Structure 1
Amino acid sequence: MTIPIAFVVNNFDVGGLEKVVLGLLRRLDPARFRPFAVCVDGPGRLFADVPLPRERVLVLDKSKARKIGPFSFDPAVLTTMARFFFANGIRVVHAHNLAPLVLGGLAARLVFPRPKVVYSEHNQIYSASDAHVSRFRHYVKLADRVIAVSYDLERTLARRIGLRDGVSVVHNGIDGKRFTRNPSAIAKIRAELGVAEDEFLVGTAVVISKQKGLVHLLGAAERVVRADPKVRFVIAGDGPLRAELEEKARVSGLGDKVRFLGYRSDIPDLVSALDTYVLPSLWEGLPLALLEGLAIGVPLVATTVGGNPEVIVPGENGYLVPPKDEGALADAILRVKAGGPAFAHEVRERGRSRFERAFSEEAMTRAHESLYDAVLQG
């Protein structure tokens, strides 16, 4: 008999958390597990990618809910979710981030027999205020098991909320078949971007938000371009800070040395065309963007936050720098360039091997399946 599992998310908007859940929905062994999905705040832009028949998906609307404390509660949302759990015999509720935990955890308590509740913490605890941490400490009691997506996140949960028992580390993973180096696309992408053969292309593909630290990438870019005008930068993605950062790049005199590309559907090809993938985040759990660069085999430069040091081995597949340190970021980019084709080749060989061992979607899914089994037996 298959085990029905309900994945509870805010929605399927564009982000790493949502892509992780989509990967689990695709990869869970259908002979053992029957996945369902619950969106507590509308469908989101990636909803069409949900690989489930619509009768296995529940989309709720919090817009009319009453605000109680930090969350919007609507009794109708809880009862509708509870009925969905009961009607489908849900045995595990897997909530991703805090609001889905609160709503999914409370709804689970309206069902008999009560489903087990698993909670995945992706990165919210890093930026949480003291008041938020206090609430977090209370609401996490709704979970029978907590998943941290990196060892650093596990340590942070212990330090900030005293959570030491019942935590398992499961690294995020991505689809290795999709994220492979595409040599045939490299010349096409670089020509589209106007990058000459002798120029060095640095890039990133992220949601353009404060978390990603892109203001410091622009500061580093100024230093790099002064030292070596043959270096170009591209930033793919959209987000709340895009217009502000575009204006900063303009007034900084970077001109055509930095291009904002907006949303791209060809991220694997774009990353294949890069000479260095950079991620200057201020905080992270375990960013999929870094795993994409690792899988494709591009040298990586990232900050020493969250799970980044669990992905990058300095000198082997890239370099790590302190967050907000624009000088160190610039130096690391120039160091990759100085390594030349020999270093790039070594990174491709080592990076792909490291990805397949630890960060593939398949490895992530098998680890989750083992955890679900353990929770149900506990």
Structure 2
Amino acid sequence: MTVHICHLLWSFRTGGLENGVVNLINQLEPDEFRHSIICLTDYDQAFFSRIARDNVQIYCLNKRPGHDLPSFWRCFKLLRQLKPDICHSRNLAAMEYQAAALLARIPLRVHGEHGWDLTDLAGQNKKYVLLKRLFKKVIHRYVCLSREGRDYLQNDVGVAADRLSQICNGVDTRRFMPALRLKSTLPEALAASDRIIFGTVGRIADVKNQQLLVAAYIELCQQEETFKNSTALVIIGDGPTRPQLQQQLATAGLISQCWLPGDRSDIASILPGLSVFVLPSLAEGISNTILEAMACALPVIASNVGGNAELVAAGQTGWLFSSNNKKQLQQVMLQCQQAPTELQRLGDNARAAAEQKFSLDTMVSAYRRLYLDSYKQQEG
């Protein structure tokens, strides 16, 4: 028996959630599972090409902004055509299309909560909570990534514990590893320097808060000449405000020691060239980029939001700072510059934690059990 899973997403472009879907599809045994992807809006062909399985189809509903009722009809017809065994939606926008899955009589409907939206950082938007409560009758199984997500689904939405699975993201420790330091694809001027390189990876968006990192870095360089001369900054990812961040760094006279190349497909060979990974997000579920950085033996500085505290052990694998607190972030960055020998110990601990607690194999095994066990129960 081969179980057909249809993954229902807002879009399929570079992002942590989407990268997790790629990893899952590539790692689940093709003899047991086959996959389809339905995007509400659009997808990036280059990103889709990261899927190594040759029997995966991707479809777009071409949803228009706002309430596009015809897109629900298109989803219903497509699901009737595909006839998947499982429809797995992720996050609020895709969850609404589980109504189409219900009407199409998809046997098992699974929904994953992967983090907060910028307009609802605490998950307390009353309209969203009500909508999720209504959909409890439509969805059979729920997946959350963090303890915060589990508490939210149980206490706010009212999901019963026996319908809820907490599955942490996993990282491919064979692909992301410190040995790749010898093959870094950082620009030669950075790779050959002995600077402490602070770096972050992610789409450039308000919720990811790269603006805080840039502001903190500029101020430190202006206040501490030694810091300026011994550090560099790397921001990987793209978004509408990337030119603005570049301009701020150029105005401060720092652009020569900063690198903002946009989206890259060689993250596994960029990360090992960094010294410290920084994630200043305003909200997170379980961050794939933190896990990838840890697997590359990088100490992590992260905002204390969402599941970050479940990944970063303060004093052991990195540091946590209060959300949007520039002064705390600066204190930790300055500490890294002043005591670089400590970075090696923290990085080694981070690599060990990635291998022991957050492996890709552990994540894939958990999803495999969820899919097979739930599908068999539903059939029975």
Distance 1:195 1:321, change over 3 A: farther
Written as runs of structure 1 = structure 2, the 5 A alignment for 1:331-370 is 331-341=331-341, 343-370=342-369
Q: Is the 8 A contact 2:298 2:351 kept in 1?
A: no
Identify the match of residue 180 of structure 1 among 177, 181, 194: 177
Contact 2:302 2:321 in 1 (8 A): yes
Cα drift, residue 83 of structure 1: 1.8
**SS of match in other structure, 2:6:** strand
Residue 53 of structure 2 is aligned to residue 61 of structure 1: no
Gap runs ≥5 in structure 1: none
Q: Residues of 2 paired with 1:185 and 1:80: CA distance?
A: 48
Range moving further from structure 2, 363-372 or 221-230: 221-230
For residues 217-252 of structure 1, what are the alpha-carbon distances to aligned partners after superposition, in whole Å with 9 as ceiling and x for unaligned? Answer: 122213432232222211111112212222333344
Q: Give the 5 Å matches for 1:192-203.
A: 192-193=189-190, 196-197=193-194, 199-203=195-199
1:160-211 deviation per Cα after TM superposition (whole angstroms, max 9, x unaligned): 434453221101123222211213124x6362437632x2111112111101
Separation of aligned partners in 1, 2:69 and 2:116: 18
TM-score normalised by the chain length of structure 2: 0.87
**Structure 1 residues 107-166: Cα deviation after superposition (integer angstroms, max 9, x where no partner):** 322344x41111111113674343333323323542111111111222233454344532
Which structure 2 residues correspond to residues 1-378 of structure 1 after superposition, within 5 A? 1-45=1-45, 46-53=47-54, 56-63=56-63, 68=67, 72-74=69-71, 76-86=73-83, 90-103=84-97, 105-112=98-105, 114-124=106-116, 127-128=119-120, 129-165=125-161, 166-181=163-178, 182-186=180-184, 189=186, 191-193=188-190, 196-197=193-194, 199-225=195-221, 226-227=223-224, 228-229=227-228, 230-341=230-341, 343-376=342-375, 377=377
Please give the secondary structure, in 1, of the residue aligned with 2:198. Answer: strand
Structure-2 separation of matches of 1:35 and 1:310? 30
Paired residues in the alignment total 366
The alpha-carbon distance between structure 1 residues 125 and 250, as it changes in their structure 2 partners (threshold 3 A), is: closer
For the 8 Å contact 1:195–1:232, the answer to whether it is kept is: no
Structure 2 CA distance for aligned equivalents of residues 75 and 327 of structure 1: 47
| SS of 1:290 mapped into structure 2 | helix
Amino acid paired to 1:244: Q
- By how many angstroms is 1:66 displaced? 9.1
Letter of the structure 1 residue corresponding to residue 44 of structure 2: G
CA spacing shift, 1:232–1:74, aligned 2, 3 Å: closer
- In structure 2, relative to structure 1, the CA distance for the partners of 1:232 and 1:137 (3 Å cut) is same
Alignment CA distance shift 1:280-1:236 (3 Å) = same
- Checking the alignment, whether the CA contact within 8 Å between 2:143 and 2:165 is kept in structure 1 is yes
Greater shift, 282-291 or 148-157, is seen at: 148-157
Can you list the C-alpha shifts for 1:278-312, whole angstroms capped at 9, x where unaligned? 01111011111111111101111010011111110
What is the TM-score when the length of structure 1 is the normalising length? Answer: 0.88
State the SS of the aligned residue for 1:302: strand
Q: Do the aligned partners of residues 66 and 75 (structure 1) sit closer, same or farther apart at CA in structure 2, a change above 3 Å counting?
A: farther
Partner SS for 1:109: helix
Are residues 369 and 250 of structure 1, via their aligned partners in 2, closer, same or farther at CA, if it must alter by over 3 Å? same
Further displaced range: 272-281 or 255-264: 255-264
Q: Which amino acid aligns with 1:375?
A: S
**Could you tell me how far 1:368 is from its partner in structure 2?**
0.6
Partner of 1:42, secondary structure, is: coil
Contact 2:190–2:257 (8 Å) recurs in 1? no
Over 3 Å counting, the alpha-carbon distance change for 1:75 and 1:294 in structure 2 is closer
SS at match of 2:34: strand
Code of the aligned partner of 2:49: A
Aligned residues with identical type, % of pairs:
26
Moved more, 345-354 or 205-214: 345-354
- C-alpha RMSD of matched pairs (Å): 2.4
Counterpart-to-counterpart distance in 1, 2:318 and 2:186: 23
C-alpha contact 1:190 1:196 (8 A) present in aligned 2: no
Whole-angstrom distance in 1 between the partners of 2:58 and 2:262: 31
3-state DSSP of counterpart to 2:96 = helix
**1:124 partner SS:** coil
Maintained 8 Å contact 1:9/1:38: yes
SS in 1 for 2:265: coil
- Asked if the contact 2:76–2:104 (Cα under 8 Å) also holds between the matched residues in 1, the reply is no
Give the gaps of 5 or more residues in structure 2.
none
Structure 2 CA distance for aligned equivalents of residues 29 and 52 of structure 1: 10
1:26 shift after superposition: 0.7
